[in-house]
């Protein structure tokens, strides 16, 4: 099934023609749990990886023998998904209790090379905003699932670009670390449904005049809404709780129609390639190449939520009835930073080291 972002509630470039200079495309990945093949783009799926190519390893010295067994992380998620909406069975509870006992691999030393975790593979033919070195059509993304690396104390990310036609015999089985520092560093296997959308620059990075214009226009929209809003009073003023709930639901539906630039018109939520970086939790920070100084746009955004309360207008039409379903809004089970990690690459030379940013 494809995934389709609903049209934006209004044409923001018609209202603010200057925004045309701050437009970029992004490819939303729309990961959903499934079983991809190595010929497809995926999250945590099998990689088109040559049999004779060494698998990336983490050689940093840090504790590698303690954490969560990947097999347990996956089993726990399967149990939780199966038991959604009901109590655990005795057997499920017994399995969950057993996991708590065995979160380590005693034989692993801190300086042993640890196979990295395959996080994603993306083909240019499916993900048009994927921009890499000339002639390379496949990006493979790995990380070491321990949040101990670098100044950010986070996962260590490795990017590998290739020409898919160069790959002959494929490596099977594919290595992975036995243990992850935190379960939320382990993505659940997903197929992806790439969809290209248009984004506009983060509000705080537009020039002041444009920011002011947008703020004034939003205030105008708000006033209009207040004029026809009726307001919801406390539960006490309704005959039954059900009536109160119904009134609240109506109010929420109304809120959904309120439009604002940040939530609805600028930057798409969820896993994506390309587009702009949102700075909703911290002030915008420049992300410049350490080699040549060029401003580095985000190549890959890894987001905890496919949409949340403020970004509901981006929920694909195919998922309209499933916005409370964790397999739709949190399909990958990954949670880095305060919910969002971006991998930025150099536009001048993709071989320059990437950088990470967080929100």
> Using CB under 5 A as the criterion, which residues of the chain lie in contact with Zn ion when the complex forms?
58, 60, 144, 146, 156, 289, 291-292, 294, 346, 348, 352
**Pick from 141, 130, 125: which is nearest to 26 by CA?**
130
Instruction: Compute the distance between CA of residue 69 and CA of residue 73 in angstroms, rounded to an integer.
Output: 6
Given the complex with Zn ion, which of 246 and 295 has the nearer CB atom?
295
**Pick from 166, 112, 162, 165: which is nearest to 142 by CA?**
162
Given the complex with Zn ion, which of 4 and 348 has the nearer CB atom?
348
Instruction: Compute the distance between CA of residue 249 and CA of residue 319 in angstroms, rounded to an integer.
Output: 19
C-beta neighbour count of 282 within 10 angstroms: 10
Least CB distance to Zn ion at residue 59 (A):
8
Given the complex with Zn ion, which of 150 and 235 has the nearer CB atom?
150
Given the complex with Zn ion, which of 75 and 131 has the nearer CB atom?
131
Instruction: Return the residue matching tokens 């729309």.
Output: 30
Least CB distance to Zn ion at residue 241 (A):
51
DSSP 335-358: --TTSEEEEE--SS-TTSPPEEEE
Residues 194, 126: contact at Cβ < 8 Å? yes
Q: Write out the two tokens for 75.
A: 């089993």
Instruction: Compute the distance between CA of residue 173 and CA of residue 75 in angstroms, rounded to an integer.
Output: 20
Given the complex with Zn ion, which of 60 and 198 has the nearer CB atom?
60
Instruction: Compute the distance between CA of residue 102 and CA of residue 91 in angstroms, rounded to an integer.
Output: 18
Instruction: Characterize 6-15 residue by residue with b for buried, 16 or more Cβ atoms within 10 angstroms of its Cβ, and e for exposed.
Output: eebeeebbee
Instruction: Characterize 106-135 residue by residue with b for buried, 16 or more Cβ atoms within 10 angstroms of its Cβ, and e for exposed.
Output: eebeeeeebbbbbbbbbbbebbebbbbeee
Dihedral (C-alpha) 171, 173, 175, 180: value to the nearest 10 degrees? 140
Given the complex with Zn ion, which of 60 and 170 has the nearer CB atom?
60
Instruction: Compute the distance between CA of residue 49 and CA of residue 139 in angstroms, rounded to an integer.
Output: 11
Given the complex with Zn ion, which of 291 and 322 has the nearer CB atom?
291
Given the complex with Zn ion, which of 60 and 108 has the nearer CB atom?
60
Least CB distance to Zn ion at residue 76 (A):
23
Instruction: Compute the distance between CA of residue 132 and CA of residue 163 in angstroms, rounded to an integer.
Output: 11
Q: Write out the two tokens for 48.
A: 């088109």
Least CB distance to Zn ion at residue 318 (A):
38
Residues 28, 38: contact at Cβ < 8 Å? no
Least CB distance to Zn ion at residue 112 (A):
10
Least CB distance to Zn ion at residue 335 (A):
18
Least CB distance to Zn ion at residue 310 (A):
34
Given the complex with Zn ion, which of 67 and 316 has the nearer CB atom?
67
Least CB distance to Zn ion at residue 145 (A):
8
Given the complex with Zn ion, which of 119 and 328 has the nearer CB atom?
119
Least CB distance to Zn ion at residue 359 (A):
23
Least CB distance to Zn ion at residue 144 (A):
3
């Amino acid at each position: 099934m494809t995934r389709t972002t609903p049209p934006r509630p209004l044409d923001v470039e018609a209202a603010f023609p200057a925004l045309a200079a701050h437009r970029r495309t992004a490819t939303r990945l729309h990961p959903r749990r499934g079983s991809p093949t190595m010929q497809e783009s995926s999250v945590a799926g099998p990689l088109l990886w040559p049999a004779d190519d060494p698998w990336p390893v983490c050689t940093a010295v840090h504790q590698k023998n303690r954490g969560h067994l990947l097999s347990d992380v996956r089993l726990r998620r399967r149990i939780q998904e199966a038991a959604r909406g009901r109590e655990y069975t005795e057997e499920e509870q017994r399995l969950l209790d057993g996991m708590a006992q065995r979160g380590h691999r005693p034989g692993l030393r801190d300086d042993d090379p640890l196979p990295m975790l395959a996080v994603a593979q993306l083909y240019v033919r499916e993900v048009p905003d994927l921009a890499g070195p000339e002639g390379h059509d496949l990006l493979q993304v790995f990380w070491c699932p321990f949040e101990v690396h670098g100044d950010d104390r986070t996962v260590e990310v490795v990017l590998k670009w290739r020409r898919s036609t160069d790959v002959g015999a494929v490596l099977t089985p594919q290595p992975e670390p036995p243990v992850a520092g935190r379960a939320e560093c382990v993505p659940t296997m997903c197929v992806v449904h790439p969809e290209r959308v248009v984004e506009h620059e983060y509000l705080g990075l537009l020039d002041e005049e444009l920011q002011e214009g947008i703020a004034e226009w939003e205030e105008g929209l708000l006033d209009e809404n207040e004029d026809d809003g009726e307001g919801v009073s406390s539960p006490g003023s309704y005959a039954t709780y059900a009536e109160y709930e119904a009134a609240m639901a109506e109010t929420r539906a109304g809120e959904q129609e309120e439009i604002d630039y940040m939530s609805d018109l600028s930057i798409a939520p969820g896993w994506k390639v390309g587009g702009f970086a949102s700075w909703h939790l911290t002030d915008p920070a420049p992300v410049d190449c350490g080699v040549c100084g060029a401003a580095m746009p985000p190549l890959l955004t890894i987001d905890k939520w496919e949409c949340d309360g403020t970004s509901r207008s981006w929920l694909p039409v195919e998922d309209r009835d499933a916005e409370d379903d964790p397999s739709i809004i949190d399909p990958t089970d990954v949670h880095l930073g305060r919910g969002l990690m971006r991998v930025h690459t150099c536009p001048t030379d993709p071989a320059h080291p990437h950088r990470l940013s967080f929100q």
